[in-house]
């Protein structure tokens, strides 16, 4: 996994966090039954940190799953080449 790949997934995680802010403003009042003003108060202390943690977990597992699949298919290709 190259440095460019790490930069790409970090940028993707940050983009996901930024995109989720307006969606949380729409969805959170519906599910929690609170006014949008209350949700605006929760953006910085609750919603943004939650989305950053969620993006970090997604990036962590995404990288590990990608690497596992990549190396498994690489080994499988090497085995097929020997047949």
Phi/psi of residue 13, each to 5°? -65, -40
pTM of this prediction?
0.79
Predicted confidence (pLDDT) per residue in 21-46, tens digit: 999 999 999 999 999 999 999 999 99
Whole-angstrom Cα distance, residue 9 to residue 76? Answer: 26
Quote the CA–CA distance of 39 and 77 in Å, as a whole number: 51
Query: Which of the two residues, 75 and 38, has the higher pLDDT score?
Result: 38
**Residues contacting residue 1 through CB under 8 Å, at least 6 positions apart:** 63, 66, 67
**pLDDT higher than 70, residue 52:** yes
CA distance 78 to 83: 9
């Amino acid at each position: 996994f190259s440095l460019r790949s790490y930069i790409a997934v970090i940028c993707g995680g940050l983009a996901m966090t930024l995109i989720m802010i307006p969606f949380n403003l729409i969805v959170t009042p519906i599910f929690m039954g609170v006014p949008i003003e209350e949700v605006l108060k929760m953006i910085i202390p609750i919603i943004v940190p939650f989305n950053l943690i969620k993006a970090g977990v997604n990036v962590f597992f995404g990288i590990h799953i990608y690497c596992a699949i990549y190396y498994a298919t690489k080994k499988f290709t090497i085995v097929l080449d020997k047949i």
